[in-house]
Amino acid sequence: MSEPDNPDAVIRDQKTFAKVSRRELLRVAPVLLAGAIAFPRVRSALFSDGLTFTDWLSAQWFRHGHEVPYLSNADLTPLARFPLNTYGADDPEVDLDAWRLQVAGLVQRPGEYRLSDLQSLSKTSQNTRHICVEGWDVVGNFAGVRISEFLKFVGADTSARFLYVECADDYYESLDMATALHPQSLLCYEMYGKPLERERGAPLRLSLPTKIGYKSAKYLTGLKVTNVLARRGYWEDLGYDWFYGL
Ligand SMILES: Nc1nc2c(c(=O)[nH]1)N[C@H]1C(S)=C(S)[C@@H](COP(=O)(O)O)O[C@H]1N2
Ligand SMILES: [Mo]
């Protein structure tokens, strides 16, 4: 081959080549990442906490502190028209007098907490929308203590990754710590100004207006602060989305 007539043209071509190859690289990056994840060793290092890639990715998108709308009393759905939704019996027959919340994991003060312990902390009441994956939504009034405040009360290590909860009906759930610490995330003991009815999760449930309805676990019995999840959630372990932010 002879020398090119115009050396500038060569330089231009090289620049074009550099640009294209960078763009090409960006295009194949997800494939490379997915490929790396396909190797069990890489995958277990990334997701040894029990999450899937999608779980992890969705948690990166969480808008920290972004609040869903607070609604007015005029917007409230009457409690009688607020559907009940429980995978088994609506009333798991919790002994309300003997009830204690078992607090475990990465906390300075683990142990059993009474409802009165939770009620001694400042109370937050909010009208927010509850959206069920089955295609209905309502506006409800929920009151209780912010999860963030209770975690402070028990001396939780909030740099831990997850909050895991268990329920009297064998339901269970888990949240990423950012969602647990969100100002609208409640340990809820009242709906519509009255103690939780049995079928609503007495004596304590979650109310998580930034999340799909099934994450708002009812009939809480235990709570654990942890970096590793053995199980993610009742519906999640059957294939439903774990993060499911609204
Ligand atoms: N312990 C427990 N919590 C649960 C459920 C359940 O079956 N068991 N169902 C979930 C679902 S799918 C929804 S939509 C809400 C329903 O709350 P509600 O019965 O007050 O409407 O509770 C969630 N929390
Ligand atoms: Mo639901």
Tell me the domain boundaries of the chain: 7-58, 67-238
Run of H or E residues at 191: strand 186-191
* Candidate of 76, 84, 86 to mutate for ligand 1, largest count of ligand atoms within 8 Å of Cβ: 86
* Least trusted range by pLDDT, from 33-37, 43-47, 173-177, 179-183: 43-47
Distance 178 CA to ligand 1 centre (A): 22
Please state, for a pLDDT cut of 90, what percent of the chain lies above it.
Answer: 72
**Under CATH, what is the fold of the domain 67-238?**
Sulfite Oxidase; Chain A, domain 2 (3.90.420)
> Which ligand 1 atom is nearest residue 171's CA?
1
Distance 202 CA to ligand 1 centre (A): 12
Distance 8 CA to ligand 1 centre (A): 69
SS3 content of the chain, % helix, strand, coil (to 5): 30, 25, 45
Closest residue to atom 1 of ligand 1, CA basis = 218
Q: How confident is the model at residue 9 (pLDDT cuts 50, 70, 90)?
A: very low
Q: How confident is the model at residue 96 (pLDDT cuts 50, 70, 90)?
A: very high
Q: Which residues make Cβ contacts (< 8 Å) with residue 3, sequence separation at least 6?
A: none
Ligand nearest to the CA of 133: 2
Distance 235 CA to ligand 1 centre (A): 11
Residues 135-148: what's their mean pLDDT?
98
On the CB side of 192, how many CA atoms lie within 13 Å of its CA? 13
Could you tell me if residue 120 is left (phi over 0), alpha (psi between -120 and 50 degrees) or otherwise beta? Answer: alpha
Q: Which residues make Cβ contacts (< 8 Å) with residue 182, sequence separation at least 6?
A: 64, 65, 147, 148, 208, 210
Contact (Cβ atoms closer than 8 angstroms) between residue 119 and residue 101: no
Most confident of 3-12, 65-74, 133-142: 133-142
